[in-house]
Amino acid sequence: MHNNLIQTLNYIVPLETNEVDFLKNAFKVIEIKKGDFFLKAGDLNNQVGFIQKGLIRYFVYKNEEEATLEFSKEGEFVAEYQSLVQKSESIQSIQAIEDTTMLVMTSDDLQNLYANFKNGDKIGRIVIEHRFNVLVSQLMSIYMHNQEQRYLQFIKTYPDLLQRVPQYHIASYVGVKPQSLSRIRKRFTK
């Protein structure tokens, strides 16, 4: 069950045997049904997940409507890092778009990994750097691209998700109503 996680982390840095053993014990399997939440806005994020199977989205409420920030799929880490690090209420919600299987580690175990294992800090740094790059790209797209360009950015960033993500979530990510997304998509299919 932990093979994908260990393989992903070994890609970041070669793990020592005691680190592999710790990670296998620290990460527990959870199942999240489609539509259920890994984290709701207002709750404290006290765990990090690794998606084994499934798909999730991060979203916030903007003017009483959901605004999708990003998507995560198999082989990716999941957390609302601001809440996790600052031990504050989350402003984001993290919801399963498909039935999802995750490996989950508590924040206490994460801190143990950082403090007591040779490669713990490096693993954390590389994962956070990746998350930072994803968020900066998303932020830049919001400020620099119009809605058509944001749709093209979605296709470029998530080509394998076009058939997995409901159109209304893609519309929310792009920043348009579903009807407008249909018009944008028609322009690109001509």
- pLDDT tens-digit readout, 110-162: 999 999 999 999 998 998 898 888 888 888 888 888 888 889 888 888 889 98
pTM above 0.85, yes or no: yes
Domain definitions of the chain by residue range: 3-120
pLDDT for 190 equals 62
CATH match of 3-120 with 3.40.50.720:
no
Using CA of residue 36, residue 73, residue 181, residue 93, what is the dihedral sign?
positive
**Is residue 6 pLDDT above 80, yes or no?**
yes
User: 96 — phi, psi (to 5°)?
Assistant: -75, 130
Radius of gyration, CA atoms only, the chain = 17
More confident residue, 128 or 98: 98
Count of alpha carbons within 13 Å of 85, Cβ hemisphere only?
A: 7
pLDDT for 130 equals 86
For residues 57-82, give the mean pLDDT: 92
Burial class of residue 64 (count of CB atoms within 10 Å of its CB; 0-12, 13-18, 19+):
exposed
Question: Cα separation of 33 and 96, whole Å?
Answer: 7
Tokens of 165: 């993500």
Angle between helices 17-26 and 107-116 (to 10 degrees): 170
More confident residue, 40 or 186: 40
**Is residue 103 pLDDT above 90, yes or no?**
yes
Q: Strands, E, within the chain: which ranges?
A: 28-32, 37-39, 47-53, 55-62, 65-73, 77-78, 93-96, 100-106
- pLDDT tens-digit readout, 36-56: 999 999 999 999 999 999 999
For residues 66-86, give the mean pLDDT: 92
Using CA of residue 81, residue 57, residue 133, residue 77, what is the dihedral sign?
positive
